[in-house]
Amino acid sequence: MILLMALSLVVSLATPVGAGDMASLGYSDECTLIHADPDDCWITYSNNDGSFENGYAWQYAGVVPPYGGAFGEGFSGGSCGIGVVCARLWVTTLSGFYTGQSCDVYIWEGGFDNEPGAVASMTAGVVLGNVPYWPAIGANDVSAYGSIPGQAGGFTVGYWGDWPSAPCGYFVAADLDGPGGRPWTYIAPGIGYPTGWNDPSMVWGPTQSLGLEAEAWGGYTPAEPRTWGTVKALFD
């Protein structure tokens, strides 16, 4: 009980007064990454630098169906269109928060040159199996096919946590010092922030990218930024 109270205090201290619909874990440079077993995704699109320093979540009135409170990461899809076949979600939680809550995994058109637009794919009721306690962060690979036309302005991969009117189940990992990407969150109406798609930096402070990655085929050209995390790993 003492441990749970202490961990809950961490979330409350990281949440502005009067903004209990959002939560963050606070900065840490000692995070441990726990990969999926087995790794189902062969990651071709990633904006993070292979490490994360915080975690974000919406809860209570910040979570409204169909995807108010969702998180996403946008990528360039090239000019010929792409097919997304797998999404990877890097998430973490605190003791007592995750009790098997499901999420809906989305692929949206757009999100690179503009904000996310039409839903290209939605996989409902996904229960993640790798949700460790902070500061450990777990990878969860989800098969999720979406066909993106070449002129859609890229694509966005992300999820909506299914816990409306309740505390959050888990937190999406946040990269604070990487090369930069296209992080997004869909803010529900009436909670004190601009409604709709916004950069999470508006809510949680400077954020370079989120722990959301994808396996996709076709569309890219060698001149386009594809996968900083994968390229960086070649030299680690």
Closest by alpha carbon to 109, among 126, 97, 122, 99? 122
Does residue 214 surpass a pLDDT of 80? Answer: yes
Does residue 14 surpass a pLDDT of 80? Answer: no
pTM equals 0.85
Domain count, the chain: 1
CA–CA gap between residue 95 and residue 97 (Å, rounded): 6
* Structural domain range at position 214: 2-233
Confidence of residue 219 (pLDDT cuts 50, 70, 90): low
What value does the CA radius of gyration of the chain take, rounded to a whole number of Å? Answer: 16
Backbone angles phi, psi at 82, to 5 degrees: -140, 165
Task: Report the mean per-residue pLDDT for the chain.
Answer: 87
Confidence of residue 13 (pLDDT cuts 50, 70, 90): very low
Q: Name residues whose C-beta falls within 8 Å of residue 40's C-beta, 6 or more positions apart in sequence.
A: 86, 141, 143
Does residue 210 surpass a pLDDT of 50? Answer: yes
CA–CA gap between residue 15 and residue 167 (Å, rounded): 13
Which segment of 36-45, 76-85, 188-197 scores lowest on mean pLDDT? 76-85
- Residue linked to tokens 């961990």: 7
pLDDT tens, position by position, 121-171: 999 999 999 999 999 999 999 999 999 988 889 999 999 999 999 999 999
Structure token pair of residue 53: 């320093």
CA–CA gap between residue 23 and residue 191 (Å, rounded): 13
Number of Cβ within a 10 Å radius of residue 127: 12
Angle at 73 (CA atoms; ends 69, 74), nearest 5 degrees: 125
Backbone angles phi, psi at 9, to 5 degrees: -65, -35
Structure token pair of residue 48: 């993070």
Burial of 10 (0-12, 13-18, 19+ CB in 10 A): middle
pLDDT of 151: 80
CA–CA gap between residue 15 and residue 164 (Å, rounded): 18
Q: Would you give the distance in Å from CA 202 to the centre of its chain?
A: 16
The three-class DSSP label of residue 173 is strand
CA–CA gap between residue 110 and residue 119 (Å, rounded): 9
Confidence of residue 218 (pLDDT cuts 50, 70, 90): confident
pLDDT of 150: 83
The three-class DSSP label of residue 215 is strand
Strands 136-148 and 82-92: antiparallel
